């Protein structure tokens, strides 16, 4: 069976995201990926009839994975988890609002020795799909990534086991 590039990307994404569950076993990661895919079968049916809806598939897949990850970490009381969706509204991904959201998450996670901060939809928020990823937009996206990484590094205790994930 030949896999598409997007399918392999999703499989490795799930394997990395759920490493604490799968132990980096691609078979288990495939099972999780299939469960997520099954949960969004309605969207697949829409894509079959309206191919222009294919651009939404990754967003739905990432959202379903983030929800599953949130539920997985809810069962680990010693592990902190915070999810920030950068595409909630037009202002969310701007530096001022991004800083506020990230600081809120870091404050919430500061009481945990192990924690995960999940940032989703930052790229689509700064580079909306119908627009081209060129000069200024790419620079703003790179600056946002650097800003979030630097802020998280500066506000996290050196003894903490902190994971910063971007989807």
* Structure confidence by residue, pLDDT tens digits, 9-67: 888 878 887 777 778 788 888 888 887 777 777 766 776 776 666 666 777 777 777 88
DSSP-based three-state secondary structure for 14: helix
* Residue 149: alpha-carbon gap to chain centroid: 14
pLDDT tens for 52-74 read 666 667 777 777 778 877 777 77
Global pTM value: 0.71
CA dist list (Å): 9 to 19, 93, 101, 142, 143 = 15, 25, 28, 21, 24
Q: Nearest 5°: CA angle at 40, between 35 and 42?
A: 135
What's the chain's average pLDDT? Answer: 81
């Amino acid at each position: 069976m030949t896999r598409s590039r997007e399918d392999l990307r999703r499989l490795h994404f799930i394997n990395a995201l759920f490493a604490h569950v799968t132990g980096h076993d691609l078979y288990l990661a495939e099972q999780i990926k299939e469960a997520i895919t099954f949960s969004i079968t309605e969207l697949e049916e829409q894509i079959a009839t309206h191919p222009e809806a294919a651009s939404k598939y990754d967003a739905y897949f990432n959202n379903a994975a983030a929800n599953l990850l949130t539920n997985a970490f809810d069962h680990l009381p010693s592990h902190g988890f915070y999810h920030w969706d950068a595409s909630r509204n037009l202002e969310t991904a701007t530096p001022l609002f991004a800083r506020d959201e990230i600081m809120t998450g870091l404050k919430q996670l500061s009481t945990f020795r192990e924690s995960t901060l999940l940032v989703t939809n930052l790229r689509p928020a700064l580079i909306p799909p119908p627009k081209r990823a060129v000069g200024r937009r790419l620079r703003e996206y790179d600056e946002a990534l650097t800003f979030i990484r630097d802020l998280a590094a500066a506000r996290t205790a050196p003894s903490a086991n902190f994971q910063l994930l971007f989807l």
